Amino acid sequence: MLWKRQIPILIATVVGLLTLFGWFIDNPGIESFVNDDATQWFDILASFAIFLGALNLMKLQGRKVLKQHSGWQYSLFAIGGFIFAIVAGFIYKGNDAVAWGVHVTSKGTLFKWMFDFIFTPLSATMFALLAFFVASASYRAFRVRNLEATLLLVSGMIIMVGRVPLGSSISSWFIMYLLVLVGSVAANIKFQDKIITFGVLLGGVVIVTIWGSLAGWPVDQPSIFYLPMLQDWIYNNPNVAGARAIMIGIGLGIFATSIRYILGVEKSYIGE
Amino acid sequence: MMKYIIELILSIGKVDRRWIFLVIGLAVLLPLFFPLGLPIRATTATQRVYDAVEELEPNSKVLVSFEYGPSTKPEIHPMAIAILRHLFTNSQKVYVTCLWPDGQFMAEDALTEIAEEEYGLTYGEDYVLLGFRPGNEAVVKGLVSNIRKLYTTDARGTLVDQIPMMANVNKVKDFDFIFSASAGYPGTIEWVQYAADPTGVPMSTGTTSIQVNDVMPYVQSGQVKGILAGMPGAAEYEALIGSPGIGTSGMDAQSIAHLVIVLFIVFGNITYFIETRRAKKY
Amino acid sequence: MVIGAWISVFLTLAILSYLYKDNPFYKVAEHVFVGISTGYWTSMFFWTQIQPNLFGRLWPATEYDASSLWYKFYNLFGVFSSVFPEGGIAKGHDMHLIYLVPFALGIMMLLSVSSKLSWMARWGIAYTVGMAAGLRAYGFLNSNVLGQIKGSAFQIFNSDLPYFALVGESITNNFVILIGTITGLMYFYFSREHTGNFGRLTKVGIYFLMISFGASFGFAVMGRISLLIGRFVDLMHYSSSAYNNATLWILLIMVLLLGYSAFMDKGRPVESPVNDRTD
């Protein structure tokens, strides 16, 4: 139990305290450890974690093939893909002018070919699939159930349309007419009176039309209804406020959690 | 009549999602075949980046860092290319580093296309590709203290001491401007925290749309001078420098797709309202 | 080049075919992706981290001494001349034998693949967790908390700024950001019930947060659509005659095969993708 529990917690505590106080201690040995070696060790261990993940994956896929679980034929493709990538990375260079090591970032090698024609299309398309799911969710799931959801969707829609060229082509007067329409629908829902609804609609249309004719129908005035300007204001002000609050909150949370790990209060990384 | 319309709206509201996929697919595909040529207007954030680059004296030393990969290439590559075009037009000296390994591939593609083929510049005198170094923020910190410790050779294997434009360039403070084309970690935030803020070198950035909100507070406080937000940001920058490229050609598709999604949200909510009013009635 | 184009188009269309329904093309592409990306990152991390930074510090070329025991050990591995080249590893480092510590922790991590020794990974994980906690605690407190608070502070009575401006700085805009940040932070304070005046302020806070989330949603949509545009542009590029019209042929074959299987499946319920993932 000593090896499995106490020592890992001790390692986390000692290393954590060393790196935390390393920011404040003036000893050159500790400073050089914290600044250079500590991050390097972190990267090296992260690499070993990747290797561990690869070994686990091959163990799982291999077991599936050997025991012929359902879909084992597809596991052959996974194993084959892995072997191909390892061959390209360690066995067959494809371009003798390039040394081992830099061949992973050089042109003309089998590794680069694999990167361009297999890895890139796969990873890019996986991400691109999400565009379709976002569209489907917009249609079927995003509902204006309360004021908060309304704010979210309205600000989202203004940003989406205001940020693209289409938004600058939509006149602010069109938006004002749209608001008059929305206002009359809201009046209808609230007062349930045809006369009030019609009054709001007619009044709104008349006011906007007279105002517009007097102003000469400029596309981007009044600027508060011009989508790109409105989008700019939302983007630079309330949006930054919210993002900043979240950033500060996360910063404080990370600080608190880091202290918990260093003090050994939080033991989830060893599975407890 | 009203009832018929309402029934129709409700039935469309319950349609199989694969029709939605088809509609959005066509909304993106058709404008690529039949461009609309909508005019592109730059936002203030993009304008600030343009102004920051324009203000540089000719022959300034600019550090451009590529930290994106193929999955985010459609968004960031156009802006990297536009920035390179702007810098080379204004005769700036460009030094390219990469915090992501795949960033080096992107940098090579961009430099071959722009510096070599379009502008016919000399490697080592007008631009240099220092390349990728592992270590994330440790690389940024290393660049701030001593470039030659990190980079003994450039990406092509030439010793850094033998490259003419590397003379008198030893740390980040020797640069006049930093631009980070970033898609995540490590990226803009690391450059701000470890390089631009401590040394005071002005910096700008271009990021993926998803990352924009994370970086906005730095832009608002002036630590980062403007931001190119995703493909629309790239298209706006291309419009500002007057050379439309891949960013611009995708804009029509982007506009139509966004409009379609907004209409989906509106239509979905109309169906929702009709359903809730019906449920209240009964 | 052309073979690569055909493979690229096939894999792209195979993944897109998931939108119709889960099918063998998609499953094949998905499994290939899993295998290739694991192998890709393994190779990448090995050649960019382990070989230069770990082995390069244990057996650097600068201190190569063929007679020493340590380098005799190295020369045994010389059979893998790509990883362990003749004369030590020249990556500009000096010898730091202390790097045997992360090497040992790393080997322990790898040994944990066997279920009996799975506890060995805990040591390496504990080191990673401790180190990250120590580094990030200071870094995040400094830049994300103090830096952001500093950025929110502004001169209230700055006569240079206009009172109200839709674009650019203004006194009202600065107030909006300040009030939004403070009320947003108040919302995250759960040690006190959100009632009364405090409750009203936190409600204002959540409105600001919702506007921010809405903007993030807008940007997320923008990003995903841009990626889709990128894929379509690539597919269109590969449909040209220089690549023997790869896109058109593969699309035709896939549509025919999927259509045929849908026809044969008529009568059996069709499984369409279930999750509405929006991340």
DSSP state of A13: H
- pLDDT exceeds cutoff 70 at C267: no
Please determine, for residue C59, whether its predicted confidence score (pLDDT) is greater than 90.
Answer: no
Half-sphere exposure for B233 (CA within 13 Å, toward CB) = 33
C233 CB neighbours in chain B (<8 A) are 32, 74, 246, 249-250
Instruction: Tell me the domain boundaries of chain A.
Output: 2-135, 148-262
Instruction: Provide the terminal-to-terminal Cα distance of chain C, rounded to the nearest Å.
Output: 34
Contact between B179 and B79 under an 8 Å Cβ cutoff? The reply is no
pLDDT tens per residue, range C147-204: 778 777 776 666 677 777 777 778 888 888 889 999 999 998 888 888 888 889 999 9
- Which member of A16, A121, A223 has the closest CB to residue C12? A121
pLDDT at B233: 92
C176 vs A: CB within 8 A = yes
Both B20 and B134 in a single domain?
no
- pLDDT-derived band at B239, boundaries 50, 70, 90: very high
CA distance B39 to chain A (A): 6
B176 has a pLDDT exceeding 70: yes
Domain membership of residue B182 (yes or no) is yes
Task: Name the 3-class secondary structure at B182.
Answer: strand
For residue C271, the model assigns a pLDDT of 53
What's the whole-number mean pLDDT along residues B131-144? 83
Among candidates B75, B101, B246 on the partner chain, residue whose Cβ is nearest the Cβ of C48: B101
The ipTM is: 0.85
- Listed by number, the residues of chain A in 58-117 with a beta carbon closer than 8 Å to a beta carbon of chain B are 102, 104-105, 107, 112, 115-116
Write out chain A residues lying below 8 Å of C47, CB-based: 89, 100-101, 103-104
Query: From CA B54, how far away is CA B91, in angstroms rounded?
Result: 11
What Rg do the C-alpha atoms of chain A give, in angstroms? 30
- Examine the domain organization and report whether B199 and B259 are in the same domain: no
What does residue C159 show for φ and ψ, rounded to 5 degrees? Answer: -70, -10
Subunit partners of chain C (3 or more CB pairs within 8 A): A, B
**Strand arrangement, sheet containing B93-98:** B127-132, B93-98, B61-67, B177-182, B203-207, B227-229
**Residues in chain C, how many?**
279
The secondary structure of B115-153 as a DSSP string is IIIIS-PPBTTTEEEEEE-S-THHHHHHHHH-HHHH-SB
Residue B182 bridge partners (DSSP) = B67, B207
> Is the minimum CB–CB distance between C192 and chain A shorter than 8 Å?
no
Instruction: Count CB atoms within 10 A of the CB of residue C233.
Output: 16
Cβ-Cβ pairs closer than 8 A, A with C, add up to 440
Name the nearest CA neighbour of B206 among B244, B234, B178, B241: B234
- Whether residue C229 and residue B73 make contact (CB cut-off 8 A), yes or no, is no
Contact C64, C89 (CB under 8 A): no
Query: Do the Cβ atoms of C134 and A19 come closer than 8 Å?
Result: yes
Q: What are phi and psi of C180, to 5 degrees?
A: -60, -45
Give the per-residue pLDDT at C64: 76
Query: Per the CB < 8 Å rule, is C221 touching A134?
Result: yes
Non-local CB neighbours of B98 within 8 Å, separated by 6+ positions: B65, B66, B67, B104, B106, B107, B131, B132, B133
Cβ of residue B223 closer than 8 Å to a chain C Cβ: yes
Q: Radius of gyration of chain C from Cα atoms?
A: 29
What is the arithmetic mean of pLDDT over B113-123?
89
Quote the pLDDT of residue C270: 53
Residue C275 has pLDDT above 60, yes or no: no
Question: How many angstroms separate the Cα of B226 from the Cα of each of A240, B48, B182, B220, B223?
Answer: 14, 5, 14, 8, 9
Q: State whether B67 and B21 are in the same domain.
A: no
Judged by CB atoms within 8 Å, which residues 227-256 of C form the interface with A? Answer: 227-228, 230-231, 234
Helix (H, G, I), strand (E, B) or coil at C96: coil
Element (H, E) at B274: helix B246-281
Name the residue among C177, C216, C229 with its Cβ closest to that of B28.
C229
Q: How many domains does chain B have?
A: 2
Residue ranges of A 128-187 with Cβ closer than 8 A to chain B: 131-132, 134-136, 138-144, 153, 156-157, 160-161, 163-169
Are residues B231 and C212, on separate chains, in Cβ contact within 8 Å?
A: no
Range with the lowest mean pLDDT among A22-36, A91-105, B233-247, C260-274?
C260-274
Contacts of C234 in chain A (CB under 8 A): 121, 124
Please check whether residue C158 is in contact with residue A254, taking contact to mean a CB–CB distance below 8 angstroms.
Answer: no
Is residue C61 within 8 A of residue C87, CB to CB? The reply is yes
Decide if B70 is inside a domain: yes
Query: CA-to-CA distance for C6 and C246, rounded, in angstroms?
Result: 6
Looking at residue C155, its pLDDT comes to 65
Shared domain for B229 and B108, answered yes or no, is yes
Q: State the DSSP string of C126-156.
A: HHHHHHHHHHHHHHHIIIIIIHHHHHH---T
Asked if the structure places residue B104 within a domain, the reply is yes
The verdict on a CB contact (< 8 Å) between A48 and C106 is yes
Contact assignment for C221 to B250 by CB distance below 8 Å: no
For testing contact with chain C, the best of A13, A20, A41 (most C CBs within 10 A) = A41
Residues of chain C neighbouring B231 (CB-CB closer than 8 A): 222, 226, 229
Residues 2-31 of A with CB under 8 A from C: 3-4, 7-9, 11-23
Minimal Cα distance from A227: which residue of C? C166
Residues B178 and B215 in one domain: yes
Among A34, A130, A166, the strongest candidate for a mutation testing the B interface, having the largest count of B CBs within 10 A, is: A166
Three-state SS for C89? strand
- Give me the residues of chain A with pLDDT under 70, please: 1, 272
Q: Does the pLDDT of residue C272 top 60, yes or no?
A: no
Domain residue spans of chain C: 154-215
In angstroms, the CA A141 to CA C167 distance is 34
Nearest to B66 by CA among B123, B113, B133: B133
pTM score: 0.85
Residue B48 falls within a domain, yes or no? Answer: yes
CB pairs under 8 A between B and C: 99
CATH for B167: 3.40.50.10160
Q: Which residue of B has its CA nearest to C49?
A: B134
Is residue C230 less than 8 Å (CB to CB) from chain B?
Answer: yes
Give the DSSP H/E element, type plus range, for residue C205: helix C196-237
State the greatest distance between any 2 C-alpha atoms of chain C, in Å, as a whole number.
80
Q: What is the pLDDT of residue C242?
A: 81
Q: Quick check: B38 and A160 CB within 8 A?
A: no
Mean residue pLDDT across chain B: 89
C41, C154, C225, C251, best to mutate vs chain B, most B CBs in 10 Å:
C225
> Is there a contact between C85 and A100 if contact means CB atoms under 8 Å apart?
yes
The confidence band for C279, taking pLDDT boundaries of 50, 70 and 90, is: very low
Nearest CA in chain B to C223: B209
Give which of C128, C229, C240, C274 to mutate to test B binding, by max B Cβ within 10 Å: C229
Q: Give the whole-number percent of chain B exceeding pLDDT 70.
A: 100
Touching check for C278 and chain A: CB below 8 Å? yes
Q: At C92, is the pLDDT very low, low, confident or very high (cuts 50, 70, 90)?
A: low
Question: Cα distance from C61 to chain A (closest Cα, Å)?
Answer: 15
**Euclidean distance between CA atoms C209 and B32, whole angstroms:** 36
Does residue C129 sit at the A interface (CB-CB below 8 Å)?
yes
Cβ contacts of residue C228 below 8 Å, gap of 6+? Answer: A128, A131, A132, B28, B257
Task: Count CA atoms within 13 Å of residue A209 on its CB side.
Answer: 6
Tell me, yes or no, whether B39 lies in a domain: no
Could you tell me which chain A residue has the CA closest to the CA of C4?
A117
